[in-house]
Structure 1
Amino acid sequence: MAPAGIREVAAHAGVSIGTVSNFLNHPDRLSAAMVRRVTDAIEAVGFVPSNAARQLRMGVSSVIGYLASDIGNPHFGEIAASVQSRASELGLSVFIADAQEDQGTEDAHLDAFAQHHVRGLLVASHHPVEERLALLRRRGTPSVLVGQRAVSEEQPSVSVDEVDGGRQAVAHLADVGCRTVAFVGGPSEIVQVSARLAGAERAAGERGLRLREIPVAERSVAAGREVGALIAALPRESRPDGVFAVNDLLALGILQELVGRGVRVPEELALIGYDDTEFAEASLIPLSSVSRRHRDVGELVVDALFATIRGRSPDRLHRVLKPRLMPRRSTQGFLST
């Protein structure tokens, strides 16, 4: 049985096809009574409007795209939920794509979004992406860069001061008494990683700490476990007494392995992560972290995108948010020697 169309709706409601078309595209042109009449007919015949067809006719999409660098990281999932909430308030839908931290996958998703004529893009990338976004912008798809401050004065962005976040993390470890700090992160080509390292180096220099780097190929719990095993295997006098992991996933993996191998956290080693995901606070030993969570981030990025769509600049072209230190048990109680 073929699905019901607008002809069936019109026949059931006893109105013209043009009236049903107005209901779908220009409901403001109909009286409240007529809207109710057509609505009842739609429900009765089981008609499902086609947003895609309507967008082709009107030349306007009601969909925006959100491209996450790694949706498996709870931080990006939180942004997605915040974006969806704000977009829903505006009567919009959000298509979400996961680049899986792969530049080729990211490019493919950007192509797909452009081919589907989304109204605009929110792009959370770990790669240099501004040239690609500029090309899409020239072709009619505006965007906001999320989590990375744009260099171009034509590219709106909403980001966090990652240098200050790295500085806060290492300064906190100095404040609790650490003297030798390991920075665990990578790859260094990722803008956010290099910025947090720069902040860590600044704090180490200001506080007279020794800072050593432990590079990792990925920022995952599994990679953290490998680092935790490496640190635990060192003689106590050779271990760092503080660890700054570039995200909470790494930090949680390090924590699991250290505790499992008998290293007392925080008494012997203070540990801090980054992102302040819900898993940080819920850990068996609550994890200190640097928070870049902001309740209104979805509103900020969606509103910035729509200011651009309307042909005007956002209130602030490059909005840079301040991170906040969230001290918890994993650093509170360190026993300096």
Structure 2
Amino acid sequence: MGSDVKQACRLKQWMGGAAALLVSAGAGAQSADPKPWQLNMGRGVTTTAQHAYDAHMLALWICVAIGLIVFGAMAVAMFRFRKSRGVTPAQFTHNTTAEIIWTVVPIVILVAMAVPATRKLIAMYDTRDSEMTVKVTGVQWMWRYEYMGEDVSLTSRLDRESDRLRQDRNVTRAELDAHPHYLLDVDHPLVLPTNTKIRFVVTADDVIHSWWVPALGWKQDAIPGLVNEAWTEILEPGIYRGQCAELCGKDHAFMPIVVRAVPREEFDSWLAAEKARNAPAAPAPAAPVPADAAPAASEAAPAQADAATQFPSAPAAPAAG
């Protein structure tokens, strides 16, 4: 009898530990960018990311409930009705009520999961009513961004310090630790406004790339000759990092993405500064003409014509016979 009590206590401890692990998995999903040893999907900082997180958590908790019921029933059956206790197994071939229940319940569960997931998937691809458009072009091994209709574009590459360290054969661990965003920084981040619906058109110039920022909640392939669409609405200012998510050649690992989300007023100021910086220089003013300068050809021509009229040239002498 004492052994039965000990086994029951162990079973309760095991189930309690499993429940605590699941709770900690849910609690660890608060950060925008992925973290080492993160147990769960992140919430992200966009409407799309939150939709994906909600669908994920709905499916997760349904699976947890089903797992607890199924494995709990198995554990109880193996403990209470084990052979060592002399229990005689029941003999039956079928149970109509049970069969109806385990057919109808999964259908209801799947429909309950499919309806909201379908609505969110449709919304994820609805780029209508966007307030601005950004063109993203993948190139080996960098990203080009163009703010459509604004005459502003930039090229985003791996930052120089990361590029130097990755090629230094004698680099030390201390040097890498001193660069917290090693291989994750760029020279020119993509600057976007918050609380603004932004449409992305994504393509590539050479091979297939994939533009992926986990905090935004989606990944879009960049394919030469094809334009894909996506949209985002960033809810919180901050810096969000990503990577090219499609093997695209020898430097595929060195195509980081950095998005800097700022309030709309700050974005408008940045955009105006970029327009001014990219505007063509004004032509230099013409130099003043000295008073004693020779007359221009157009002014000298009438004087020459008057002289020819007043002093006609003599007729040519006849040739010798």
Interval of TM-score (by shorter of Structure 1 and Structure 2): under 0.3
Q: Normalised by the size of structure 1, how large is the TM-score?
A: 0.23
